[in-house]
Amino acid sequence: MSIAENIAQVRANIAAAAGAAGRKPEDILLVGASKMNDAAACREAIAAGIDALGENRVQEMTGKLAESAYDGAPLHFIGHLQRNKVKQVVGKAELIQSVGSLELLEEIEKTAARLEMVQDVLLEVNIGEEAAKSGFFPEMIFSGAQAALERSHIRVLGLMTIPPAGVDREDNLRYFDKVRALFIDMNEKLFHNDLRHLSMGMSGDYEDAIRAGATMVRVGTAIFGSRHYT
């Protein structure tokens, strides 16, 4: 199957999941998670109408930017971002989906201020409260949002999450539901219901995420095929 055929299949699945949930497919953005796929694969996905591409390694993103791999689609940063690499991402990625600490917010603010721009971000929720993962724990997400609201060079568009790996489908759904509840609460209390995006769901669970209210799914394997780590 080609990348274009895979995208068509994923779009059909998104439409079915949206329909089953009484939602409109056009309200769900398809972000291609293009890590470990080359510039040619990115261009193929863009030609096939992907809504955005998401990278999670700064070095790889920088290399592919130099090859104009993302021309024609918005670029998102979706991976763990170290503070010392913020300069390479702010102003390059239209949306940084993975902002999971006050320190990172601070660094993005400083960099965006220097560039005299406003950086769009999602706040990442560490919904499983996993020590090895980044992201705000649920009880910290309001203070994270508050801190972001006080920074004039950062605009929060919503939340992003990656539930713990290896849980069964029901538990996974429970995590999605919890994040959705946080999103609704935070949106109402802090953002006048202006938040647009709830980014959750990957190749194995994007249809469930859509049923649980995702507005953005990040799909890699189901579009680009399996990744080969060496």
Q: Which residues bind ligand PLP (CB under 6 A)?
A: 33, 35, 56, 78-79, 162, 202-204, 218-222
Q: Least distance from C-beta 193 to ligand PLP, angstroms?
A: 26
- Judged by CB, which is closer to ligand PLP: 54, or 144? 54
Residue 112, exposed/middle/buried by CB under 10 A (0-12, 13-18, 19+)? buried
For tokens 């913020």, the residue is 86
- Judged by CB, which is closer to ligand PLP: 145, or 222? 222
- Judged by CB, which is closer to ligand PLP: 180, or 218? 218
Q: Least distance from C-beta 200 to ligand PLP, angstroms?
A: 9
Q: Least distance from C-beta 11 to ligand PLP, angstroms?
A: 15
Q: Least distance from C-beta 112 to ligand PLP, angstroms?
A: 22
Radius of gyration of the chain (CA): 17
Residue 211 CB coordination number (10 Å): 18
**8-state DSSP, 163:** P
- Judged by CB, which is closer to ligand PLP: 46, or 222? 222
User: Looking at this protein, which amino acid is placed at residue 169?
Assistant: R
Going by C-beta distance under 8 Å and a sequence separation of 6 or more, which residues neighbour residue 170? none
Compute the distance between CA of residue 229 and CA of residue 33 in angstroms, rounded to an integer: 15
- Judged by CB, which is closer to ligand PLP: 122, or 147? 122
**8-state DSSP, 140:** G
- Judged by CB, which is closer to ligand PLP: 35, or 197? 35
Taking the mean position of all CA atoms in its chain, how far away is CA 111?
21
Select the residue whose beta carbon is closest to ligand PLP and give its number: 220
Q: How many CA atoms lie within 13 A of 103 on its CB side?
A: 7
Q: Least distance from C-beta 124 to ligand PLP, angstroms?
A: 9
Q: Least distance from C-beta 202 to ligand PLP, angstroms?
A: 4
Compute the distance between CA of residue 78 and CA of residue 59 in angstroms, rounded to an integer: 13
